[in-house]
Amino acid sequence: MDQEVMDFFDFSKELKRVPAAPQGYISSDPRLMATESKSSEVPNREMLGTDYVTKIVAKEKCRLNRTLLEYQPEGKRNRTLDDLDTDDEAEETEIRRDDEYYKKFRFNLNRDKNLSIYAKREEILAAINAHPVIIIKGETGCGKTTQVPQYILDEAYKSGKYCNIVVTQPRRIAAISIANRVCQEREWQQNTVCSFQVGLHRPNSLEDTRLLYCTTGVLLNNLINNKTLTHYTHIVLDEVHERDQNMDFLLIVVRRLLATNSRHVKIILMSATIDAKELSDYFATTNSIPPVITTNHGRKHSIEKFYRDQLGSIIWNEEDVGDQHVPEINKHGYRAAVKIIVIIDNMERKAAIQSRLSYDETLRYGAVLIFLPGIYEIDTMAENITCMLENDRNIKVLIVRCFSLMTPENQRDVFNPPPPGFRKIILATNIAESSITVPDVSYVIDFCLTKVKVTDTASSFSSLRLTWASKANCRQRAGRVGRLRSGRVYRMVNKHFYQREMAEFGIPEMLRLPLQNSVLMAKVLNMGSPMEILALALSPPNLSDIQNTILLLKEVGALYLTVDGVYDALDGDLTYWGTIMARLPLDTRQSRLIILGYIFNMLEEAIIIAAGLSTNGLFAHDGGRTHIGDSFWMQYIFADGSGSDLVAIWRVYLTYLSLVEIGHDQESAIRWAKRFHVSLRSLKEIHLLVQELRVRCMHLGLIPFSVNPSQMMDDHDDDREKAIMLKVIIAGASTQTTLRVPKIRVLTQIAIYTRQYRATIPAAPYILATLSLPIWASCTLGALRSYFRRSGFRQKTWTLPFKMVRKRFLSHSNRMTGLQIHLSLFLCRVEFKVKCTRQL
């Protein structure tokens, strides 16, 4: 058996291909089928809750109390020699002046007094001067995002003091647009006094920047690497109600550094729908409770809200209702949104006649903002609007898209006025619900949907899932209207459903997503064990989740088994692989795939496959049994005899890229996608992620060879190259893959599986490779069996829901031995001596 496994990983040995089976036939040989263990014993798993938090939080509170006990404004405090520590030497410097800088740029101190935040200006500045942490709760549109940082900067200008402000935004488009808006308001040249940094995109120099808008991840990485807040005088965390892992971990880092070496840095927390008491308690000390400054909108114009059941037969037909509890947008929902646009236009025409106003003038301030959950829904909505209004010459619309991965040039179109006679229709994801204000929006159509990352409990892989937005999100969206005139909000759900069944707030990501990236950031931070760091979160995860995460990181090579040579189940020293994984926006196992791809000169292929694993539903179907079968066979065809779903992802993407390069139009691409049952939405998302991963890999020194798609596909026509690719996939994409060897060796076909969140059929394992080897393999097929049981088939014989495809699962576990080899761990122990190997 050992020799067979060694042969499998020997690149010099021939990889025997399995011929493609005729459509409609899959062998029913019982020796080829997987079996489940009949053992009724359940593995012991100690479920550890959050009891560990109490002791760690109490210790941290003592540290924070001791640090801020003697805090006084402007650093004036009486201290003894015993109070000083080594960190104070770097921190205790004279007040730095910046008079020469302020002479270089024009500082106009006239702020917009019409914004409601202006009435709180003096109170905000006084609170910042008196407290290390303050909280500002202001409704959307009050001006807090653009004005509060300017108030701080203006105050520093008056006194000639050095000031360096950083403001975080949850999304790239918000950071870019707000920075540009502040520059325009102050008549500053872009990327001088005020600038932005998003992801890997930043100005060539930030030397003159005193007000930086950046994404949450950018600031988090800077603080983790520098381990101090003192590069800034003020840190403004905006939209803190968005409880993603980056924001929660940023709060941990800020709180910890504030209590150690950065006690003079001012922290300002802002949001419209924040739980102010929870945050205030989080940063509270014995003698200092962060003040909460609340500002009302002071809205001059009214907002009317309408719900689905209130619109009645005007918009919806009885046969269009469907299941109102299912989070989806069907064709009737898209049509209903277009009908609302027509009603809005007719309503404004009548109002213009009665008030003797110009219809073009009403169009100028009558933009419609439609909230949709993703890029695919945006494209579908655009198609419906174009199709339904193309024959109506009375209504002219300008469709503008708004989502996170747009270029900065395209993002500016959201704020530009439409041409005369046109109504602007903005199709946006939830990035437009906070921070971004488009003044001419008077109408919002909200499907009350969003996409959130969720984790498959069987595989620990995360994916985006369509679900209902929280009420807090919907309130943020409603706040986008009513800036220049009265506005209307159309919520495409029933009022009772909105009030009684939709959640008030979303579940924090730290409680519903894998913790691999957070644990890796805790290790890079190097200010305690992962348990000690994550216990300080606003919503701490269960200790069992931390323990399982650390075990997984050890399996994929991100952590050593020991800390300073001593084994620790709740910790491990960071490996070089772990430092790379911490800097890639992927699941750690996908990052591992990229690292192995670089080692074996297959980085480009690994990047594409990793991006494909991060995207939902590449192979699409309409839900019918016939089309499910067709979708399966298209996936089988694209696998090119490898039997690997991941190879199929790679080949589909290269085919799509070739079509784009030769200039196929959108209609041709749609026909191609429909013919091969491929989702264009998923392909576009994969393409954007591939581009970002390439840039990140270059910054990490992982540089792929430059090849075109057709050349790459030709290179892998060689069986040896395919063999290497399959083995890299098996080793990198999964740690749950196993080979099971029978007592009697039979030369037969095997399939190597891994339990992941998508597969050839719903809820089934991912097929990594199908090979012809002298061993029998079965890998984690519990999900597949569960799928059949839910389908109502008999226990021992199930029929796949593909046309003319039958497969039998017969119990023969008594013929099997219990020997299992973990392929990915085994691969790391094998010394490969081939020409294509590179050293990191």
Token duo for residue 343? 């009603």
Contact 744, 783 (CB under 8 A): no
**Over 50: is that where the pLDDT of 818 sits?**
no
pLDDT of residue 759: 35
Mean pLDDT of the chain: 73
Mean pLDDT of the region 145-168: 93
Over residues 149-174, mean pLDDT: 91
Domains of the chain (ranges; CATH) run 93-295 (3.40.50.300), 303-506 (3.40.50.300)
The pLDDT assigned to 685 comes to: 78
Most trustworthy range by pLDDT among 45-59, 257-271, 313-327? 257-271
User: How many Cβ atoms from other residues are within 10 Å of residue 73's Cβ?
Assistant: 11
* More confident: 210 or 84: 210
How would residue 711 be classed by pLDDT, with cut points 50, 70 and 90?
low
pLDDT at residue number 733: 56
User: Of the ranges 23-37, 131-145, 542-556, which one carries the lowest mean pLDDT score?
Assistant: 23-37
Cβ count within 10 A of residue 214 = 24
Structure tokens at 417: 């006025």
- Tell me, what amino acid is at 801? P
Q: Please tell me the distance from the alpha carbon of residue 648 to that of residue 654, in angstroms, as a whole number.
A: 10
User: What is the number of alpha carbons within 13 Å of residue 327 lying toward its C-beta?
Assistant: 18
Beta bridge partners of 740: 820
pLDDT digits (tens, 9 = 90+) for 197-213: 887 666 667 788 999 99
Query: Which of 408, 403, 398, 413 lies closest to 433, judged by CA?
Result: 403
Out of 69-78, 373-382, 451-460, least confident range: 69-78
Structure tokens at 517: 């990236």
Residue 94 has a pLDDT of 54
Percent pLDDT > 90 in the chain is: 18
Residue 492, judged by CB atoms within 10 A of its CB (0-12, 13-18, 19+), counts as buried
* Residue 695 phi, psi dihedral angles, 5° rounding: -65, -45
pLDDT value of position 13: 62
191: left (phi over 0), alpha (psi -120 to 50) or beta: left
Between CA 765 and CA 779 the distance in angstroms is 9
Better-scored residue on pLDDT, 233 or 722: 233
In this structure, the chain runs to a length of: 840
Q: Answer whether residue 646 shows pLDDT above 60.
A: yes
Of the ranges 200-204, 276-280, 460-464, which is most confident?
276-280
Task: Please state, in angstroms and rounded to a whole number, the distance separating the CA atoms of residues 823 and 827.
Answer: 6
* 816: pLDDT strictly greater than 70: no
- Lowest model confidence (mean pLDDT) among 218-227, 678-687, 769-778: 769-778
Average pLDDT of the segment spanning 469-474: 89
Greater confidence, 705 or 35?
Answer: 705
DSSP state of 483: S
* 541: CB partners within 8 A, 6+ apart: 50, 510, 511, 515, 534
The answer to whether 398 touches 413, Cβ cutoff 8 Å, is: no
Could you give the C-alpha distances from 388 to 369, 382, 427, 619, 698, in angstroms and in order? 18, 10, 16, 28, 46
Mean pLDDT of 169-183: 87
Q: CA 765 to CA 752: how far, in whole Å?
A: 10
* Residue 93: pLDDT over 60: no
Q: Is the pLDDT of residue 324 over 80?
A: no
Which pLDDT does position 238 carry in this prediction? 92
* Bigger pLDDT: 508 vs 21: 508
Which H or E run contains 675?
Answer: helix 666-675
Over residues 749-778, mean pLDDT? 37
The answer on pLDDT for 581 being more than 80 is yes
pLDDT tens for residues 727-750?
A: 777 676 555 544 444 433 333 333
Q: Could you give the C-alpha distances from 244 to 170, 253, 377, 513, in angstroms and in order? A: 9, 14, 23, 10
At 685 the three-state DSSP class reads helix
**What is the band of 214 on the pLDDT scale with cuts at 50, 70, 90?**
very high
The model's pTM: 0.70
pLDDT, greater one: 42 or 400: 400
Local confidence band at 21 (pLDDT 50, 70, 90 cut-offs): very low
Q: What is the mean pLDDT of residues 297-305?
A: 74
| pLDDT of residue 138 exceeding 90 | no
Dump pLDDT digits (tens) for 529-579. Answer: 999 999 999 989 988 889 888 988 998 889 999 999 899 989 999 999 999
Cα dihedral 241, 244, 247, 248, rounded to 10, equals 90
Q: Is the pLDDT of residue 64 over 60?
A: yes
- Each residue's pLDDT tens digit, 508-523: 888 888 888 899 999 9
Strand order in the sheet with 441-446: 303-307, 487-491, 441-446, 367-371, 423-428, 397-402
Euclidean distance between CA atoms 575 and 553, whole angstroms = 10
Contact 444, 487 (CB under 8 A): yes
Each residue of 754-768: b (16+ CB within 10 Å) or e? bbbbbbbbebbbbbb
pLDDT value of residue 405 = 61
Tens of pLDDT, residue by residue over 396-435, are 888 988 876 665 566 677 888 888 888 899 999 887 887 6
With tokens 């009558």, the residue in question is 366
Cα angle 446-495-428, degrees, rounded to a multiple of 5: 5
Q: Give the pLDDT confidence score for residue 805 in this predicted structure.
A: 28
CA angle 225, 229, 231 (to 5 degrees): 90
